[in-house]
Chains A and B, each alone.
Chain A
């Protein structure tokens, strides 16, 4: 049986991360929760570092604490058109190599400031005729988009930061704005 298929089946049975009982360290286990993506734990770690770069937790909770890495992967797995999904994956899988080549240092070796700078620099680069850069930008763009969506609709943000009311109970069409009142997009 093909090793890859066997791994996948084992993943189905165990229902989570599987450790490969072998000495072949060249192939890493895939995370079963994201069937289409076939990402490994270390790729998820890279993604987590990217989402923590988007939301580093200086003034608000950071991405990890709001569960963003999993949310981004779920959305990338379930809700992206195939072409975008391919770009996202190519960008993610090549991200450490790309950053090493571009900045002389892999993303995971960067501190928070360096990571943010790298993120901004990549997004500002001209990607014509550079497929690696194009997919890296696509990966970062999609990750940021889903990070924002996940953050703005998280329980944390919608209850503690900008409280949302499921039952407003009424509607006023003209309300004088009070300078003292905090502006709440969910209010």
Chain B
């Protein structure tokens, strides 16, 4: 028996364990395995292999039984996921249904999840804007949260490292508030976007419209062929999984790369119950895993543990990792774990029409859009609210077909479409301020199907968010009017937090163990061989789509972990 146990322990021991195979976990796995560490990646969901497991990727519109629509029964049973823009017939199999993994909403929160190899990296919107010091210095300057323990210079080389590998299309725009990176050829702005850019540039100093920097391969094809990826073909069917590997996902890029090193073991249906802590050694020794299908439990061991379970699930794992040393969750000496959660405010948008540029249209498709970097409160505080918002801005030429009649008239209409105006639209991406009362915790009574406490989510908007919405709507409307756009309409859809799919924080980074959970290397202050490099680590949210920053932090932390282990 004793021999069997020793054998078992040996088989289940790795140099490193990564919890989660999504955006940031995939990066941790790539970096660890490339450096020669035998690495176990634990993924709680099903296996999704690149291309092979993209069942809808090559289907034509008419091959979908409901032409993209979701069945009413599914919608009724799953109201939360049904609110997600990408939950459609072609990609519904990549989303967690409400019924599959319930949680408790103290306040309305749409928790959008993807439990499979690659996680939500299959489904993301692929926008990758860098942070600048205007973002990292925000909390210290404006007196909220705690000071970030890092600055732009700490992350810049890692942004470059990540960008070169994932492939980022963009322009060198030379903006201090949105640093340039390692860019492949940019996608084009449309005629009306270019017009608006010129107009805003001439009339609103400090405000810019650029083409989004997006994780699509638009050049240097040979370099990406080494990953088995090819140039983006502009299908704009990304959410189905891309057979060309044209956009970055863990499935197409980091995980196969890690697998090729021979150092990766990927285990699916592996729900992490908790991280195991050894009091004698004063460090984490492994994880306890529940098989999602058989409910069988297994322990795995490693000296380095990366926690990349997605922002809220990472909080859940830490809160559930209790021991006599850490009765309130691993690394939670100060009681702050699960608190100061924030997100991006996506509630508001503006649309309009432009009657000029009638001689132009567009051709092809573009898996990208225009982007307006934050212009409020950048150099100094200048409004009644803290921080600011970035915004999307896109415009395309409309084609009109009269559908009002039936019969021969309708058939004639379908045969004679006409060009209409340019339609323009914008949506806000507001920074929200992390607050102690915005938090997640473990419910004392309710458990999920694997016997793990359900997560209780209590996150809400505040007055700062409301003031920011008002300002965004005013400013964007004014800029639209000034550019001569007509039929301007504003909206505030009052969506719940979470639908932005940018939830962050709960295990924030900081210099002081009394006021933060992670240090400047993303290690738990109180348990240094556990690294958290997903959204849970975020001290503040800024306005940029966060995935690029998680990936850069993951790569930087692996480098640190390896240097630590050698010293």
Contact = CB atoms under 8 A, between A and B. Distances in A.
Given A55-B411, A60-B414, A183-B399, A171 B234 contact: yes
Contacts of A176: 359-360
A158 B59 CA distance: 13
Contact of A174 (B358, B360, B414): B360
Contacts of A148: 403
Interface stretch (B68-76, B136-144, B346-354): B68-76
A173 B237 CA distance: 19
Contact of B406 (A54, A85, A169): A54
Contact of B235 (A79, A153, A162, A168): A168
A45 B455 CA distance: 52
A166 interface: yes
Contact of A173 (B189, B399, B408, B410): B189
Interface in B390-424: 399, 401, 403, 405-408, 410-412, 414-415, 417-419
B193 A56 contact: no
A48 B338 CA distance: 58
B410 A158 contact: no
Contacts of B417: 162, 183-185
A79 B62 contact: no
A172 B407 contact: no
Interface residues of A, number: 49
Contacts of A157: 414
A5 B418 CA distance: 53
Given A78-B71, A120-B406, A166-B60, A174 B415 contact: no
Contact of A177 (B67, B234, B410, B419): B419
Contact of B365 (A144, A168, A177, A183): A168
B270 interface: no
Contacts of A58: 407-408, 411
Nearest to A145: B403
Contacts of B360: 174-177
Contacts of B62: 153-155, 158
Given A168-B364, A169-B234, A185-B399, A79 B69 contact: yes
A21 interface: no
A85 B62 CA distance: 23
Contacts of A154: 62
Nearest to B360: A174
Q: Which of A54, A55, A175, A177 has the most CB of B within 10 A?
A: A175
A53 B410 CA distance: 10
Contacts of A41: none
A129 B212 CA distance: 53
A12 B401 CA distance: 42
Contacts, number: 132
Interface in B366-407: 366, 399, 401, 403, 405-407
Interface string B161-190: 000000000000000000000000001111
A169 B403 contact: no
Contacts of B362: 171-175
A149 interface: yes
Nearest to B395: A173
B419 A161 contact: no
Contacts of B69: 75, 79
B204 to A, nearest CB: 22
Contacts of A79: 66, 69-72
A79 B65 CA distance: 11
Contact of A60 (B61, B194, B415): B415
A85 B408 CA distance: 28
A3 interface: no
Contacts of A185: 399, 401, 417
B71 to A, nearest CB: 5
A148 B405 CA distance: 11
Contact of B193 (A161, A173, A187): A173
Which 4 residue pairs are nearest across A and B when measured between Cβ atoms?
A: A173-B188, A168-B364, A174-B191, A171-B364
11 contacts: A54-B406, A74-B65, A78-B72, A80-B72, A150-B67, A158-B62, A168-B234, A169-B234, A169-B364, A170-B234, A171-B187
Given A162-B414, A171-B362, A172-B362, 4 more contacts: A58-B408, A60-B415, A172-B364, A183-B399
